[in-house]
Structure 1
């Protein structure tokens, strides 16, 4: 009889010990997640205030879409069609636009620090006052893009076509054949 009681007591204590960390974790998650704004799912359509942080949006057709003010931090938009899209004021630190079409896109005032635009096309794109510090533009096409007031510290311009682009001072136009730097 004593043996059975001891085993039952130990079993009861073990269950309680297992439940306490789980209950503590659930309480913590309720406190952290319940107190802030709900994050939009990666399947939400673009719109003001939508949060696509860390979303994989590769290969989507978002031509002409208005993504202004959206959160795109650490999102992947590789091989995405964003032609004529509005990305005004987006927060896109670490976003990946590898091989994407951003021709004619408006990225005015966007924060795109350490973004990856490898082989992206940005012909005629508006990048005025855009924060592109430490961005990777390797072999991107910025023909006739507007870089007026853009922040470019540490940006990789290796192989970038800058022909006809308006440089950061807003007055200098890069000469035909400007690759890697504005001539």
Structure 2
């Protein structure tokens, strides 16, 4: 091989290596970056800070730690929060349509007034979280832990609760029309007082027997009102 060919090959390798390094640098998360659309905060610590009103549309927030952080009134549309920590954080009043909250940790988190149509919360840890007055139309809560969650005034039309834990969750004042999916959901003391569940899918007698309703609660055909309704609460 002539010297010219060897030099050209080395030059090509150097250029390729430089391009790969540049690409890797551009793809790496930047934890020092300010909140902005499309920002990559993968694995970053953003806990106990106030960033309310931020525009994080389309941001990559995978495994980001937002513990006790104020994210109120932010644009979170299509953001990816998968495996993020949102314990005691506030997303109240934020736009999160199409956002991905799968497998997040969000105990006692404030999602009140959240606009999250079409978002996903699959396998999320959401115990004691507040979804009051949120727009949760077509939201996927499959396998989510929603123990003691509050859905007062929330629109849950088309929501999927298959395999979810809704023990002691309050859906008695939630709003919805049509079918909700409760296939194999755990409904221990789940509150359905006054709700029309006649179009619900996946609902079985064993689930109804452990839930809480009243004389106004309507059940799908073939299911019977338990003798212990209405439940007694302290």
TM-score (norm 2): 0.59
Q: Which of the residues 87, 92, 99 maps onto 2:81?
A: 92
The equivalent residue for 1:34 is 22
The equivalent residue for 2:164 is none
Deviation at 1:39, TM superposition (A): 2.8
Q: Measure the CA separation in 1 of the matches of 2:113 and 2:123.
A: 21
Considering only CA atoms, is the larger Rg found in Structure 1 or Structure 2?
A: 1
Q: Which of the residues 55, 72, 75 maps onto 1:66?
A: 55
Matches within 5 A, 1:45-84: 45-84=34-73
The equivalent residue for 1:144 is 133
Mark the CA change 1:177 to 1:47 in structure 2 (over 3 Å): closer, same or farther. Answer: closer
On the 8 A contact 1:77/1:98 being kept in 2, the answer is yes
Deviation at 1:157, TM superposition (A): 0.7
Structure with the bigger RCO (C-alpha within 8 Å, sep 6+) is 1
Unaligned runs of 5+ in 2: 1-16, 160-170, 176-186, 193-234
Q: Which of the residues 110, 118, 128 maps onto 1:129?
A: 118
List structure 1 runs of 4+ shifted beyond 2 angstroms.
Answer: 29-40, 174-183
The structure with more helix, counted as a fraction of residues: 1
The equivalent residue for 2:93 is 104
Q: Measure the CA separation in 2 of the matches of 1:152 and 1:126.
A: 15
Counterpart secondary structure, 2:77: coil
Q: Measure the CA separation in 1 of the matches of 2:92 and 2:155.
A: 15
Unaligned runs of 5+ in 1: 1-28
TM-score (norm 1): 0.75
Q: Measure the CA separation in 2 of the matches of 1:175 and 1:126.
A: 20
On the 8 A contact 1:72/1:90 being kept in 2, the answer is yes
